[in-house]
């Protein structure tokens, strides 16, 4: 085995869920094509996401909306994975949050998360 390219890109939990669903990990183990480990990963991740995941277009809209904040890729993926509902959690996802952003900006960011990523 050879690793051709170690890291082609980061995937958020939502994207992994979409891939797993394509692999039929959302079905019952008896009729599914997916392996038990895939089904386990799907159920585990779905529970973390609160029962439903966002499509690529919805994620793209969110990424475009947070562009002016100048966040790194991994920070954006963490925001998508955790959907921080409050300031404390946003501080955990973004490094040096206090120095980089003002309170109003953090509020705005929280609103964008609510608007784009809230599980309905």
Q: Which residues bind other proteins (CB under 8 A)?
A: 1-13, 15-16, 19-20, 23, 25, 34-35, 37-38, 40-41, 43-45, 47-48, 74, 77-78, 81-82, 86, 88-89, 91-93, 95
Work out how close the CB of 20 gets to other proteins at its nearest, in angstroms, rounded to a whole number.
6
Work out how close the CB of 4 gets to other proteins at its nearest, in angstroms, rounded to a whole number.
4
Of 20 and 116, which CB lies nearer to other proteins in the complex structure?
A: 20
3-state secondary structure of 77: helix
Work out how close the CB of 75 gets to other proteins at its nearest, in angstroms, rounded to a whole number.
10
Q: Is the four-CA dihedral 11, 13, 17, 23 of positive or negative sign?
A: positive
Element (H, E) at 89: helix 87-93
Residue 75 gets the label, from left (phi > 0), alpha (psi -120 to 50) or beta, of alpha
């Amino acid at each position: 085995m050879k690793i051709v390219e170690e890291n082609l890109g980061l995937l958020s939990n939502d994207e992994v869920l979409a891939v797993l669903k394509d692999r039929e990990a959302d079905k019952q183990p008896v009729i599914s094509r997916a392996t038990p480990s895939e089904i386990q990963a799907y159920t585990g991740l779905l529970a973390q996401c609160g029962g439903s995941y966002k499509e690529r277009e919805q994620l793209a809209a969110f990424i475009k909306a947070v562009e002016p904040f100048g966040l790194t890729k991994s920070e954006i993926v963490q925001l998508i994975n955790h959907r921080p509902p409050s300031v404390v959690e946003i501080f955990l996802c973004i490094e040096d949050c206090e120095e980089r952003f003002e309170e109003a900006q953090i509020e705005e960011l929280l609103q964008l998360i609510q608007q784009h990523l809230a599980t309905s």
